Amino acid sequence: MSLDAARLRTLTQEFLAAHPVATTPREEFLSARFDAGLAWVHYPEGLGGLDAPRALQAVVDAELEAAGAPDNDPRRNGIGLGMAAPTVLRYGTDEQKRRFLKPLWVGQEIWCQLFSEPGAGSDLAALGTRAVREGDDWIVNGQKVWTSGAHNSRFAILIARTDPDVPKHRGITYFVCDMTDPGVEVRPLRQITGEAEFNEVFLTDVRIPDAHRLGETGDGWKVAQTTLNNERVAIGGMRIPREGGLIGIVADTWRERPELRTHDLHQRLMTLWVEAEVARLTGERLRQQLVAGHPGPEGAGMKLGFARLNQQISGLELELLGEEGLLYDDWTMRRPEIVDFAGRDAGYRYLRAKGNSIEGGTSEVLLNIVAERVLGLPPEPRTDKDVAWKDLSR
């Protein structure tokens, strides 16, 4: 049976009738929604979807929102939903998909990302965390850094070096790591805001079963590209309403506080308002392109724009508020589950936005991706491209 918008709307209404929002417990409702194929409609049947076109997800979401249905709190598990799930779907075995996707979507298991290392951030392929095969397991040793939400996570997507004798991009393998296993140590990294949503993670003789490997041994870099492309879309291409995000906060202050206005700030606010709207509409176009396949390097451009706009808008907000904008007294070493720009003050937004050009790929690296993979410009010389990882200077 082919699904169109009308049929999917009917299925959603029938689901709501069978699971009344007012009387069905939240987790039970979300679990039933997954089983009904209304979680990700473009995923296969039995895995939260109905093999329907991705664009029809908006039909389901609109019906559920109108009914006041609970969502799965996507900000709390952004890495799981935006990065891990698409990777598991594309490269996971049938058993892995059945094991991981439902509790991930429902929010029963939170995920984090063990990619970056102290010596392998922008040059991620130079990573040194080692995974050595021992029977049916892999023994992992190393250190990861800038791991958002590791302190709240059950699972992590992990890339590790399994063959040091080949060039750096070819000797990497991709795993799912249980963060509750012996040998996994999570330490907070206190940020410029005072809080610690980031972490460093130490892996000491961590035993990961080969059944938790995603993709073939040595193909981890290829698998990681799926994760990274989805990450950039998740960060830079989030669906927001018109005048949503930081520009809406500053625009509201402008309307409510006429005594703060100046001609110069007005011109800058209008310029940034237009750029924010262009970015929002570009994000809508990018999501339309995703209907036809997997995200590509275009997401790097969206993430670049997101970081630049957030930093410029938060800077404008400080100037608009003057001395009031410099007040920031919440230096508590908190361990939040989500980054809440809207619920904090201007000082927090200004400080936290500085990380937007680092997390999810630095702006410098993303500029290279746009130049080479979107614009087709000649790549930079890479003298280490064919050198075995073990022979690289570090």
Q: Tell me the pLDDT tens digit for each residue of 315-357.
A: 999 999 998 988 877 777 888 887 777 778 899 999 999 988 9
Do 50 and 164 sit in the same domain of this protein? no
Do 137 and 206 sit in the same domain of this protein? yes
- Helix (H) or strand (E) holding 155, with range, is strand 155-161
Tokens representing residue 54 in the block: 């991705």
- Low pLDDT (below 50) residues in the chain: none
Secondary structure (3-state) at 252: helix
Do 245 and 369 sit in the same domain of this protein? yes
Q: Residue 73 falls within a domain, yes or no? A: no
Provide long-range contacts, Cβ within 8 A and 24+ apart, for 326-330. Answer: 330/194
Under 8 Å between Cβ of 272 and 219: no
Q: Which residue has the tokens 């169109």?
A: 4
Under 8 Å between Cβ of 189 and 196: yes
Rounded to whole angstroms, the Cα distance separating 282 from 374 reads 15
User: What does the pLDDT read at residue 381?
Assistant: 84
Q: Residue 381 falls within a domain, yes or no? A: no
Do 248 and 353 sit in the same domain of this protein? yes
Task: Look up the CATH number of the domain holding residue 195.
Answer: 2.40.110.10
Dihedral (CA of 312, 313, 317, 319) sign: positive
Task: Look up the CATH number of the domain holding residue 351.
Answer: 1.20.140.10
Rounded to whole angstroms, the Cα distance separating 81 from 41 reads 14
Closest-CA residue to 231 (of 364, 86, 72, 118): 86
Q: Residue 140 falls within a domain, yes or no? A: yes
Rounded to whole angstroms, the Cα distance separating 85 from 92 reads 10
Q: Residue 387 falls within a domain, yes or no? A: no
> Cα torsion for 217, 291, 375, 367, to the nearest 10°?
-70
Q: Residue 76 falls within a domain, yes or no? A: no
Do 333 and 351 sit in the same domain of this protein? yes
User: What does the pLDDT read at residue 59?
Assistant: 94
Phi-psi category of 218—alpha, beta or left, where left has phi over 0 and alpha has psi -120 to 50?
left
Under 8 Å between Cβ of 332 and 355: no
Do 260 and 322 sit in the same domain of this protein? yes
Domain boundary (163, 192, 220) is at 220
Give, to the nearest 10 degrees, the angle between helix 246-256 and helix 263-290: 150
For the chain, the distance separating the N- and C-terminal CA atoms, rounded to the nearest angstrom, is: 57
Task: Give CA 317 to chain center in angstroms.
Answer: 26
Q: Residue 71 falls within a domain, yes or no? A: no
pTM as predicted: 0.88
Label each residue of 175-221 as H, E or C: EEEECCCCCEEEEEECCCCCCCCEEEEEEEEEEEEHHHEECCCCEHH
User: What does the pLDDT read at residue 284?
Assistant: 78
Do 252 and 363 sit in the same domain of this protein? yes
324 part of the active site? no
Tokens representing residue 315 in the block: 């800077």
Q: Residue 379 falls within a domain, yes or no? A: no
Closest-CA residue to 314 (of 325, 298, 327, 328): 325
Residue 359: Cβ-neighbour burial (10 angstroms; 0-12, 13-18, 19+): middle
Closest-CA residue to 34 (of 49, 21, 19): 49
Q: Which residue has the tokens 């997997």?
A: 294
Q: Find residue 160's DSSP bridge partners.
A: 173
pLDDT in tens, 260-308: 999 999 999 999 999 999 988 887 777 666 655 556 677 777 888 889 9
DSSP secondary structure code for residue 136 in this structure? T
Do 158 and 59 sit in the same domain of this protein? no
Domain boundary (178, 196, 220) is at 220
Do 235 and 351 sit in the same domain of this protein? yes
DSSP secondary structure code for residue 45 in this structure? B
Under 8 Å between Cβ of 176 and 131: no
Q: Which residue segment(s) compose the domain that 297 sits in?
A: 224-374
Annotated catalytic residue, options 117, 197, 200, 231: 231
Q: Residue 27 falls within a domain, yes or no? A: yes
Domain boundary (220, 236, 268) is at 220
Rounded to whole angstroms, the Cα distance separating 386 from 262 reads 57
Tokens representing residue 77 in the block: 């598990």
Closest-CA residue to 318 (of 348, 356, 339, 343): 348
Do 228 and 143 sit in the same domain of this protein? no
Secondary structure (3-state) at 315: helix
Greatest distance between any 2 Cα atoms in the chain: 71
Number of structural domains the chain divides into:
3
Do 148 and 236 sit in the same domain of this protein? no
Do 142 and 188 sit in the same domain of this protein? yes
Per DSSP bridges, beta strands 155-161 and 111-114 are parallel
